Chain A
Amino acid sequence: MMPRVYLDYNATAPLLPEALEAAVPYYTSNWGNASSIHRQGREARVAVEEAREQVAQLIGAADARDLVFTSGGTEAVNLAIQGYAFGNRSRGQHIITTQAEHPAALDTCRALEQRGFDLTYLPVDGLGRLDPEVLAGSIRPQTILLTLIHGNHEVGTLQPLAALVEVAHVRGVPVHVDAVQAIGRVPLDVAAFGIDLLSLSGHKFGGPKGVGVLYIRAGLAATMQAIVHGGHQERQRRAGTEDVPSVIALGKACALMSQRLGDECHRLEVLRDHLEHVACSRIPEVRRLGNSADRLPNTANLSFAGVKGEALVFNLDLLGIAVSTGASCSSRQGVPSQVLAAMGVPPETSEGSVRFSLGWGTTDEQIERVLDLLPPTIQRLRLLSPLP
């Protein structure tokens, strides 16, 4: 059997072996609760705080105490948006976001609407970007927060973040960045951008599942409300026994990414561009979706005319290649991609789109194998297709 190829890193990524290795002792020999005062507990605490420093370094947070460990990206995004909204409700009830968000942010915003908040879902351009002018026009005196995704999960588009943050800050509106797909893939420095809140997830770039982080700029935390109550952990921002091994693994993954990010970013970009370029040259009628410039180095979203994305994905799976259609990290299947719709992509193009997302385990050979198998698969599906 041929080795299988996994190109669905935007859904989830394998754990970096070094990260697992760092975590194992905390499963086997030092299983202490980081809140205990005995030796095992104190050792666990030291390790957790080291991991916090490692994450802080990757995202450019000056003070690791501004980081809150959560159970993942979804909880971090919820804590950012819900926590800030409910904590600052007296100042206003208007929140701005975009139409191209991940369900974590989108569903949280919808839930806030049901609880009386006023939400504006700004349109994005054909490449998935929010125009700073459009943002400027939507800010009101009651606006308390802007939340937007940087590094779109479906098409990889990066936002013009510096310009957007500036527009928001000039009008006194803090910014939450859903950086779940961006962290560990592109350099992103919270201090340099002046980001107020930033969510990240462990399992998208080589850390473990079940752990994420919310960065809260100093001074903002006091205004926020917790979602999970019941203990003094995480400076009362998130109760619950710390998942020590996962936190250690996340810290290690961040430390490795701090060292490798430049090289890895370049390596993936070259591989991804090669995949796109050769696929487009070997296959007729392929459309590339999303921005060709400012985007995640690992993501390609290609639409093949006359082919159903789902059919292609299943056929590639039979050949041992894992890719996905649209937002596969959502459990809602068969729903047309909202991101592509927001970008104005026509439904027939959207239905023929497939996401290829690369990561640390992706090799040249794997990409070549995909490039060998993709054209005949498309050709076969097009012959079978009832579409014109």
Chain B
Amino acid sequence: MKLPIYMDHQTTTPVDREVLEAMMPYLTDQFGDPSSRSHAWGWAAEEAVDRAREQISALIGALPEEIFFTSGATESDNLALKGIAHAYQEQGRHIVTQQTEHRAILDSCRRLEQEGFAITYLPVDRDGRVEPEAVQQAITPQTILVSIMHANNEVGTIQPLAEIGQIVKARGILFHSDAVQTVGKIACQVDDLQLDLMSISAHKMYGPKGVGALYVRKTRPRRIKCTPLFDGGGHERGLRSGTLNVPGIVGLGKACEVCTRLWRAEGERLAQLRERFVAGVMQGLNHTYLNGHPTQRLPNNINLSFAGVDGEALVMGLTEVACASGSACTSTTLEPSYVLKAMGLDDALIHASIRFGLGRWTTQEDVDYTVQTVVRRVQRLREMSPQYGLLARRGDSRQGSMNTLAQQSQKP
């Protein structure tokens, strides 16, 4: 077993060896620009990009021409929201989303609000799920887009996208999903989920950083309009200008191909490890709660609140295990996680939360070692915690919302 153990696969993943091998020719001899239509280097690059488009579309059940390359999912999310908003604003200026979206969605929405768009941020239940009925009710004649993430990056809760998609489609509105955490991990077919647009990131699925894609349905029944974020050259059929990042794109394509092969078995294996992890921690510690949906969750996500412990201090103290407190994308700031807040957790338990993200090379040994280390560390921190002292003396009489969560976490 190699230390430190990497348990932060929702933040980023290592590049699969097969993926890096596929990229290497394009980082060395095959360095052409696919826009160079006049020589062999350009054609080789173009071929590679086309192959990647096919590999991605095969994984998500799309057509190659429905894949548009970007610099990553943050850009894809920005492009989807702002692009659709700007292209359809004459039809209406209302967008429906929900409160536990990734910052890329929320901040794009805030920006659109400054431009005069109206945004509905739907609430989630204690497990982090959006009620499809609530989407139905939020839609107005001015609504042009509904954007609901597929699975949450912090708590792993999977949204009922197919049901929501049905509703959105029936109303003739466009449906987007940030599927960064699910593509290559669980079933994620654009037709099954009724999606018109979907954001994809390479570095969450064992591909390289700096590359992502936006899926845009070709006909619906009309061509979907989307205003680009950048101009200059008209690459990607005018949707995204800029020289294509060929090695990155090849890496994303290969990562998709590998996931197409592996996701089912990998998901089952990781779900078992996840159960083992949660059971182990629950056995060793009381006053510990699993955040997120007990079953409708990513196979590799574990989010726990250790009452009486500061999550930040725990992460810093766990030198042998790389994990995240709150959302790592915002972890440089110490604001409590807005995702857990939206799910109704109180601030104390939010600050006591930690996320463990399992991955392709996580072993049972890694899990057992991490559980042991975490249990020991939490026990030590709790010994020093006056907050926990109080809690322990009070017994297990958690009030209100926490009871439900505690009960849930006892039956994984």
Q: Does B377 contact A (CB under 8 A)?
A: no
Say if the beta carbon of A75 comes within 8 Å of chain B: yes
Q: Inside 8 A of B4's CB, which chain A residues have their CB?
A: 38-40
What CA separation (Å) do A30 and B108 show in the bound complex? 30
Q: Which of B8, B27, B208, B330 has most A Cβ within 10 Å?
A: B27
The answer to whether B234 touches A229, judged by C-beta atoms less than 8 angstroms apart, is no
Is the pair A239, B232 in contact by a Cβ cutoff of 8 Å? no
Contact A243 B71 (CB under 8 A): yes
Within 8 A of A (CB), among B94-143: 102-108, 110-111
Bound-state CA distance A222–B78 (Å) is: 21
Please tell me if A298 contacts chain B, counting CB pairs below 8 Å: no
A38 touches B329 (CB 8 A): no
Binds B, one of A130-138, A251-259, A281-289, A322-330: A322-330
A229 touches B208 (CB 8 A): no
The reply to whether A36 and B328 contact each other, CB–CB distance below 8 Å, is: yes
Q: Count residues of chain A with CB under 8 A from any CB of chain B.
A: 76
Say whether A107 contacts B241, CB under 8 Å.
yes
Q: Please indicate which of the listed interface residues A13, A104, A243 has the most CB atoms of chain B within 10 Å of its own CB.
A: A243
Inter-subunit contact A317/B316 (CB<8 Å) = no
CA distance A316 to B39 in the complex (A): 8
Judging by beta carbons under 8 Å apart, are A74 and B243 in contact?
Answer: yes
Please give, as numbers and ranges, the residues of chain A lying within 8 Å of B232 by CB-CB distance: 74, 77-78, 102-108
Is A71 touching B75 in the complex (CB atoms < 8 A)? yes
* B65 part of interface (Cβ distance < 8 Å): no
Whether B36 pairs with A230 at a CB distance below 8 angstroms is no
Which residues between 286 and 344 of chain A lie within 8 Å of chain B, taking CB atoms?
Answer: 310, 313-314, 316-317, 320-325, 328-333
> A331–B107 Cα gap in the complex (Å)?
31
- In the complex, A103 Cα to B235 Cα: how many Å? 11
A27, B208: Cβ atoms closer than 8 Å:
yes
The contact of B241 among A40, A74, A310, by CB within 8 Å, is A74
Q: Determine if A110 and B209 form an interchain contact, defined as CB atoms under 8 angstroms apart.
A: no
A228: interface (CB < 8 Å): yes
Shortest CB distance B48–A (Å): 12
Q: Is B14 within 8 A of A28, CB to CB?
A: yes
The reply to whether the CB of A362 lies closer than 8 angstroms to some CB of chain B is no
Residue in contact with A324 in the complex, picked from B36, B211, B248, CB distance below 8 Å: B36
Alpha-carbon distance A287/B322, docked complex (angstroms): 62
CB neighbours of A28 from chain B (8 A): 14-15, 17, 20
A260 CB–B CB distance under 8 Å: no
Query: Does A205 make an interface contact (CB < 8 A)?
Result: no
Interface-facing stretch out of A157-165, A182-190, A207-215? A207-215
Interface check B231, CB cutoff 8 A:
yes
Cβ < 8 Å to B, chain A residues 266-284: none
Shortest Cβ distance from residue B324 to the other chain A in the assembled complex, whole angstroms: 6
Q: Which residues of B contact A322 (CB under 8 A)?
A: 32, 36, 38-42
Q: Is A32 an interface residue (CB 8 A)?
A: yes
Which residues of chain A are within 8 angstroms of B20 by Cβ–Cβ distance? 27-28
- A208-B247, A230-B108, A232-B333 known; A71-B229 Cβ under 8 A: no
**Which of A15, A74, A230, A333 has its CB near the most chain B CB atoms (within 10 A)?**
A230
Residues in A neighbouring B31, C-beta threshold 8 A: 12-15
Say yes or no: A33 contacts B11, CB within 8 Å. Answer: yes
Considering the complex, give the chain A residue whose CB is closest to the CB of B245: A210
CA distance A74 to B234 in the complex (A): 11
> For residue A324, which residue of chain B has the nearest CB?
B38
Interface pairs (28), CB distance under 8 Å:
A11-B36, A12-B33, A27-B20, A27-B208, A35-B330, A36-B322, A37-B312, A41-B322, A71-B71, A71-B242, A72-B243, A74-B233, A78-B230, A103-B234, A107-B232, A210-B248, A228-B229, A229-B111, A231-B104, A231-B329, A241-B209, A244-B209, A245-B208, A320-B40, A322-B32, A324-B36, A328-B36, A329-B243
Further 18 A-B residue pairs, CB within 8 A, beyond A8-B41, A322-B40 = A27-B208, A31-B13, A36-B8, A38-B323, A41-B11, A71-B210, A72-B243, A104-B231, A104-B241, A208-B247, A210-B210, A230-B103, A240-B73, A240-B104, A241-B329, A243-B72, A243-B248, A314-B38
User: B residues near A, CB below 8 A?
Assistant: 4, 6, 8, 11-15, 17, 20, 27-29, 31-33, 35-42, 70-75, 77-78, 102-108, 110-111, 201, 203, 208-211, 229-235, 241-248, 312, 315-316, 318-319, 322-325, 328-333
